[in-house]
Structure 1
Amino acid sequence: MQNLKKTNHWLYQRHSDNDIDRARLIKKPLAALIIMLGGMSISGCEPADDVENNSSIIASEQRAQNLKVSADIEDKIINSYARVASKHAHICPKLIQKQLDNSVIERTAEVMIKDSCDYFLYPKIGEQIAVSLDNDQIEALLITPRTYNFANGGYEVTSYDKHVIRLAYNGAGYKPENFRYDVAITIE
């Protein structure tokens, strides 16, 4: 603003009265132009900031979507591995499915090599899941979608999600290297 006053002062001193009238006419548009340019430089920063904010929002949404996709892929790989493992007694985790005409899934002569074995299943909402074992040294727990101990009885399914039943060795002594057991999972 100080430069504008100096410019106006210089215009008044140097020119005649006609020039002074012209300078007054120039003064208003010049001030308006300076105000416009100042406003543009200030508002000119805002869209760039908006673009940066939008790009960071888009980048974070894309990262979240990529994480979800990678988690879905990982889950599908684990399920496909579990489907293959269900055909073998000594490989865990296992994907198990109820037969149409039978509500009991029986697995005999299963072998627990590590300290636990997981069984994946996808029951319908409202169905009851119960687990019975031939050995008291094994603990049957539902670990996904929520924690539940099957020693308390059956569990009622409240959501259509992957349910993971973990059979874990819970004996007083050391677990044998190839611990054999029979399990029956009832879904009604």
Structure 2
Amino acid sequence: MGTDIHCFAEEKVYENEGVNRIGKWVSCDKWTSSWAGVVPDIDEPPIWEVLRKDMVFTDRNYELFAILANQRNSENMPYICDPRGLPEDVSPKIPPQIILIEGHSTTWFTAKELIEYNWDQVFEYEDETMDGEKIMESVNYRECGCRFLDAVNRLVGSKDPSDIRLIITFDN
């Protein structure tokens, strides 16, 4: 069994323009009801979820997980930061889904933080072959994170990267 990443996306929307802009984070994910229209007589509200196929990023890449949140970091690679948990002002639909998928090591980043991170690092470490031979391995952060960064940049588009936030959690 492996570890998977779940990425939720939020955008900061503003109530008014000008100097005194007040922003609120809202989910910009595609939410799907798990039973809407299927069980019309049920009295409980539908369970809303972001299907895996609709998430911003879902690739299993343990080196990237290590960089983002010190997950699966057996080689002690330098990473952006320890998991931050959920932001206090997270969109209300996201925490129940994280609970439902038994997410752990939850963290968040603005797109600006991710774009400005030093992805030009190369981490080298000593490894061992099946025959016991010592070899040097390396992780090129830019190569490792290129598909993730492409997803972040698509999400941002022409918007201000400070107004886009990714909520990231992992499951086992």
TM-score range, shorter chain: under 0.3
TM-score by structure 1 length? 0.20
The higher relative CO (CA closer than 8 Å, separation ≥ 6) is in 2
TM-score by structure 2 length? 0.21
